[in-house]
A and B are shown apart, each in its own frame.
Chain A
């Protein structure tokens, strides 16, 4: 218990130090760009329909918050369910591929082939099959997510040292015990790397799904705003979407620190 608390405390102070070093420069650059953008729109007299100023975008976010928030929540659901599904499928496929040579030969080409099909081409089909509800978006997100999860996890499950497996075999450990004590834990860093890629992709997947056919969600809101030439609202939606994606990515990073304290220890 106290061991965990101590680790978490140490992680927190580490994050504090990192913040000053890594985040401050990025933040300064971002502020500089936003400032330049704001000045440019005023000085050059750019019409808000062409390019709204950052201050106008902020105003729109505040004014349209109710609209943005409900649609954001809907998209977030699509993302999380889609990611969860993709994660589960990717993980199961990876385990099947690693533990059955026959299944590896059967599955791996299909897994790779699935990534050669442009998502934009499948999206309309999924809408035809599953309608305008949440499922086409969830499936598109899952379809994009499962691949990095599966490929990384296959490599991760194979990353354990062969002598380590011999060691457990010499103790008459079962296949399942070896998986539980060595192979699966060894794959966790790989799984997290896959998750970091996958979670960012899943947001893109959900929005693509909404563009093809939806009545709700941030992507749908963007399309509608575009049609009404509400450029400020398009930008407001983009900002909200970016924040959601960043927050998801940050959660995964935080999770990796909790799951793998040994990786961050000096």
Chain B
């Protein structure tokens, strides 16, 4: 009846045995969706199974129950359908910026020379011009994340899963990188599903936010962020931003009070 979602996650549950033999429930009936071109954030405290959710969507884990659909195609437990960007930048120290960017293309068995050309074409728009042949050890944390994001773009996947990619950066670099992320997201017209535990990051970047509960992770609330785009540094100062922030903030406090 409704138009198909790009990603649909249905009733995902994940249980695994802990070291002392008890069963840990990481996720319980988690359901949400992401539409084409959207920027959606899963916002929740650490330990609410966000990374587990990503590992399931990426096909690395098989969920205990529940299904994952990409454009109505069941991809549960199957790899190769989404672009997964990890918390760590995971750049290979022996490869240059360019070499790291084409890693995914090589892993997919695509032509190296083609991939290099493609990487060179986007390197300027990623803000990496002149650093093509630098090694990761010569780059700052922000630069390294740009390379990691560029590598993820070159996987040629419509949906990007970003697992707290800016989590390790200092506060200032982080705000700056959020603006950068919005720019490249607009430019490359990808769909993004982001994991974050940072309220401001979630509001500033997202079209919609799913607030998750603590263990086991479930959707506590879905919030649509109406802030106009393009968003800039000033967006953070607008009244409607403050209003949204208060709404989400209350939900999170509520969740914390329950523990």
Q: Which residues of A contact B (CB under 8 A)?
A: 3, 161, 163-164, 166-173, 177-178, 181-182, 185-186, 188, 260-262, 265
Contact = CB atoms under 8 A, between A and B. Distances in A.
A265 B108 contact: no
Contacts of A3: 133
Interface in B146-178: 155
Contact of B94 (A164, A166, A188): A188
A265 B137 contact: yes
A266 to B, nearest CB: 8
13 contacts: A163-B88, A166-B86, A167-B84, A167-B86, A169-B79, A170-B79, A170-B84, A171-B80, A173-B107, A177-B109, A181-B107, A186-B92, A262-B135
A163 B155 CA distance: 17
A177 B90 contact: no
Residue among A173, A186, A188 with most chain B CB within 10 A: A173
Nearest to B105: A171
Nearest to A259: B94
Given A170-B59, A170-B84, A172-B79, 6 more contacts: A164-B92, A167-B86, A170-B58, A170-B79, A262-B94, A265-B135
Interface in B72-112: 79-80, 82, 84, 86-88, 90, 92-94, 103-104, 106-109
B118 to A, nearest CB: 16
Contacts of A182: 92
A265 B103 CA distance: 21
Given A171-B108, A262-B135, A185 B60 contact: no
DSSP majority for the B interface? loop
B240 interface: no
Interface residues of B, number: 26
DSSP majority for the A interface? helix
A116 to B, nearest CB: 36
A166 B106 contact: no
Contacts of B87: 163
A170 B82 contact: yes
B138 interface: yes
A169 B104 CA distance: 10
Interface string B51-69: 0000100111000000000
Contacts of B82: 170
A249 B58 CA distance: 46
A167 B90 CA distance: 9
Contact of B90 (A164, A178, A185): A164
Given A177-B107, A181-B106, A265-B138, A166 B93 contact: no
A171 B106 CA distance: 10
Interface in B101-137: 103-104, 106-109, 133, 135, 137
A89 to B, nearest CB: 25
B207 to A, nearest CB: 24
